């Protein structure tokens, strides 16, 4: 038997094994999903009581990950839907809808009757039809204790012009799943991969489905060639010619009882249709071997489509898996894939123009000084590791390691120079490393919202918003800062696990109001004061750390005197909490 025949036989064997596993997982998951269906139905009955659209200005959405952030096709707006939050004891799922106005830097909560049930790890895609439509497929719902899962296979569309939700009921679509990917390709939604998990078993997919946006019908594609192995969380992008690109992703397999081994995929494939984009087209997989600098292996990265025919990925985590524990190394870098050139390259910040001019003036002064023999030559400085820490309300210190291309140049400046340059030489602001963030691109600007990172056994879920102009790649801008006081973490306890499930799964609105009242009281109890002798030694040993932390929170434009004052207050507050 030739190589081709062996490959085809092996492929058919893998399909049979996958089919058997899917039936096994389906049987075991059925009981779990029946239990959760009752809970989901209860939430839907609450949503059904809403009879009119209510739009209200609001603070930024609560911390979350695995939601969707989409750019409005006609307006300067971003649309945030769903997501999840875990506080150490309970998992909260959301189906709320927020709209971010880019020009006003403001949020609006939009309550629309009969929305999709609460979910995370779904997929969203926007099409310009009828002044804009937001399509949602799949995702998962979890019990508050995070031990049972319900995987959706429903398809919804939000009509942006009329602000109405509509569930599209069409047979022949994908099975229930989360972690899949979905893109718009011509007049079709293309869905690939994902996974389905029960308390005991799981299965990863590599099937491909197409939903026709004109006929509202599903079709399962049967591409020829060798395609990607089953996986979730990959990068998926459509090409101008109507092809589909798949990169990376994650999957796991059981190597022995109760022991799973994860795989970080780094391969790349092209799914191409032979024809004019019709349903009956023949599709074929082929492997891509891109040039350039590929992303380091990771999972949990976020993806978007940028300008100039480039797709991009941001962040993620590389887990070092042991049998008893997992340690994660989180990222905050950007990698671009040039679809036309089949080439990867890392995104590198160029720095703002004002900073470049100041550096140029600094080099000219050094050159003049060197001519007079007054300045010693300094050895070139390479990349340095910056360690940032954020202190949560309970005193927990979050340590964040970042590698930047070079340290900020320290110069002695007069007060007039400082005011003129407005502190632009300070340390560059950038999002902290994270995974499972939400991305969107509008007018060539990338927006990054939320996500999570871990410190030991504790998870920190974020609610900050950053942006960067992908055309200029000069600097990140902080649109919404992370509030360390918003970080809640509860240790596991038997009594908490027995509490009413509905309280956790509903979204935690009551908890957030309690946190706000506590914060208001906290401002009175802990006024900002000057450092005293008691913590002077503590401050002197760590002053540079606190100044860096204060500057990262306040931004590069903050004046030095104010930064130092805030740093002193932070150090004092932390010291008092510690003792």
Lowest mean pLDDT of 96-100, 497-501, 540-544, name the range.
Answer: 497-501
- Under the banding of pLDDT at 50, 70 and 90, the label for residue 566 is confident
Quote the pLDDT of residue 517. 35
pLDDT of residue 284 exceeding 50: yes
Per-residue model confidence as pLDDT tens digits over 214-236 = 999 999 999 999 999 999 999 99
Summarised one tens digit per residue, pLDDT across range 20-37 is 556 555 555 566 677 788
Three-class secondary structure assignment of 177-219:
CECCEEEEECCEEEEEEEEEECCCCEEEEEEEEEEECCCCEEE
Looking at per-residue confidence, does 489 or 507 come out higher?
A: 489
- Listed in sequence order, the residues at least 6 apart from 358 whose beta carbon sits closer than 8 Å to its beta carbon are 421, 424, 425
Please count the CA atoms within 13 angstroms of the CA of 507 that sit on its side-chain side: 18
Distance CA 249, CA 295 (A): 12
Cα 250 to its chain centre, rounded Å, is 15
User: At 424, is the pLDDT very low, low, confident or very high (cuts 50, 70, 90)?
Assistant: very low
396 band by pLDDT with thresholds 50, 70 and 90: low
- Tell me the fold of 55-349+431-485: Neuraminidase (2.120.10)
Q: What is the pLDDT of residue 414?
A: 42
pLDDT at residue 338 greater than cutoff 60: yes
CB atoms near residue 76 (< 10 Å): 13
Reduced to 3 states (helix: H, G, I; strand: E, B; else coil), residue 314 is: strand
Distance of CA 67 to the CA centre of its chain: 8
pLDDT (mean) for 343-356: 82
Mean pLDDT value of segment 370-387 = 47
Checking if the pLDDT of 536 tops 60, the result is: no
Rounded CA-CA distance 333/446 in Å is 13
Asked which of 191-195, 268-272, 398-402, 542-546 is least confident by mean pLDDT, the reply is 398-402
**Token pair listed for 510:** 């009551």
With beta carbons less than 8 A apart as the criterion, state whether 126 and 70 touch: yes
Rounded to a whole number, what is the distance in angstroms from the first to the last CA of the chain? Answer: 75
Report the pLDDT value the prediction gives residue 53, as an integer from 0 to 100. Answer: 96
- Quote the pLDDT of residue 154: 97
DSSP 176: S
Question: Could you tell me the pLDDT band of residue 411, with boundaries at 50, 70 and 90?
Answer: very low
pLDDT of residue 5: 53
pLDDT in tens, 539-564: 444 566 567 666 766 766 777 877 78
Tokens 């500057």, located at residue: 551
Which residue has tokens 């309300």? Answer: 393
370-378: average pLDDT: 44
Question: What's the rounded mean pLDDT across residues 470-493?
Answer: 85
Highest mean pLDDT range out of 342-346, 405-409, 495-499? 342-346
| Predicted pLDDT of residue 519 | 37
Reported as a single tens digit per residue, the pLDDT across 106-154 is: 999 999 999 999 999 999 999 999 999 999 999 999 988 888 899 999 9
The encoded tokens of residue 528 equal 């900002």
Confidence tier at 465 by pLDDT (50, 70, 90): very high
| Rounded-to-integer distance, Cα 327 and Cα 321, Å | 7
CA distance 479 to 467: 7
Q: Across residues 513-524, what is the average pLDDT?
A: 36
Residue ranges of domains in the chain: 55-349+431-485, 535-577
Residue with tokens 């004061």: 529
pLDDT in the model for residue 386? 53
* Residue 401: both structure tokens together: 């390691």
Which tops the pLDDT comparison, 502 or 112? Answer: 112
């Amino acid at each position: 038997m030739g190589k081709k025949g062996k490959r085809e036989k092996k492929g058919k064997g893998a399909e049979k094994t996958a089919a058997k596993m899917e039936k096994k997982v389906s049987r075991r998951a059925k009981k779990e999903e029946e239990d959760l269906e009752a809970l989901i139905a209860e939430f839907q009955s609450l949503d059904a009581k809403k009879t009119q659209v209510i739009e209200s200005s609001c603070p930024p959405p609560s911390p979350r990950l695995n939601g969707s952030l989409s750019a409005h096709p006609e307006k300067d707006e971003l649309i945030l839907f769903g997501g999840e939050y875990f506080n150490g004891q309970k998992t909260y799922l959301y189906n709320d809808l927020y709209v971010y106005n880019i020009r006003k830097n403001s949020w609006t909560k939009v309550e629309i009757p009969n929305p999709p049930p609460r979910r995370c790890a779904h997929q969203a895609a926007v099409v310009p039809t009828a002044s804009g439509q937001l399509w949602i497929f799949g995702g998962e719902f979890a019990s508050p204790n995070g031990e049972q899962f319900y995987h959706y296979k429903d398809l919804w569309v939000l009509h942006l012009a009329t602000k109405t939700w509509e569930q599209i009921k069409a047979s022949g679509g994908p099975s229930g799943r989360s972690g899949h990917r979905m893109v718009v390709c011509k007049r079709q939604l293309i869905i690939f991969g994902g996974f389905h998990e029960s308390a005991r078993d799981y299965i990863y997919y590599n099937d491909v489905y197409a939903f026709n946006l004109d006929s509202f019908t599903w079709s399962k594609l049967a591409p020829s060639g060798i395609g990607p192995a089953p996986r979730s969380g990959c990068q998926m992008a459509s090409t101008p010619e109507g092809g589909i690109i798949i990169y990376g992703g994650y999957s796991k397999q059981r190597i022995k009882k109760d022991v799973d081994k994860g795989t970080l995929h780094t391969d790349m494939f092209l799914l191409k249709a032979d024809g004019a984009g019709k349903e009956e087209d023949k599709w074929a997989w082929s492997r891509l071997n891109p040039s350039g600098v590929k992303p380091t292996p990771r999972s949990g990265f976020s993806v978007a489509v940028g300008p100039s025919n480039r797709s991009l990925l941001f962040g993620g985590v590389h887990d070092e898996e042991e049998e008893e524990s997992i340690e994660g190394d989180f990222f905050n870098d950007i990698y671009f894939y040039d679809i036309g050139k089949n080439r990867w390259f890392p995104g590198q910040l160029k720095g703002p123009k004002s900073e470049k001019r100041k550096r140029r003036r600094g080099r000219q002064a050094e050159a003049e000084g060197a001519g007079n023999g007054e300045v010693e030559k300094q050895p070139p400085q390479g990349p340095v590791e910056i360690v940032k820490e954020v202190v949560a309300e309970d005193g927990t210190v979050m340590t964040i390691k970042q590698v930047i291309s070079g340290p900020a140049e320290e110069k002695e400046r007069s007060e007039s120079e400082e005011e003129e340059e407005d502190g632009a030489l300070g340390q560059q602001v950038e999002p902290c490393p994270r995974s499972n963030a939400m991305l969107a691109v509008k007018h060539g600007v990338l927006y990054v919202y939320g996500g999570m990172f871990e410190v030991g056994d504790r998870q920190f879920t974020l609610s900050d918003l950053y942006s960067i102009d992908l055309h200029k790649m000069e600097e990140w801008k902080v649109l919404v800062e992370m509030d360390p006081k918003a970080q809640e973490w509860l240790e596991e306890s038997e009594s908490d696990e027995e509490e009413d499930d509905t309280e956790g799964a509903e979204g935690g609105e009551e908890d957030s109001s309690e946190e706000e009242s506590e914060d208001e009281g906290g401002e009175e109890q802990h006024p900002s004061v000057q450092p005293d002798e008691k913590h002077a030694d503590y401050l002197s040993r760590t002053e540079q750390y606190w100044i860096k932390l204060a500057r990262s929170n306040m931004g590069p434009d903050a004046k030095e005197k104010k930064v130092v004052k805030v740093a002193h207050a932070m150090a004092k507050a932390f010291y008092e909490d510690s003792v």
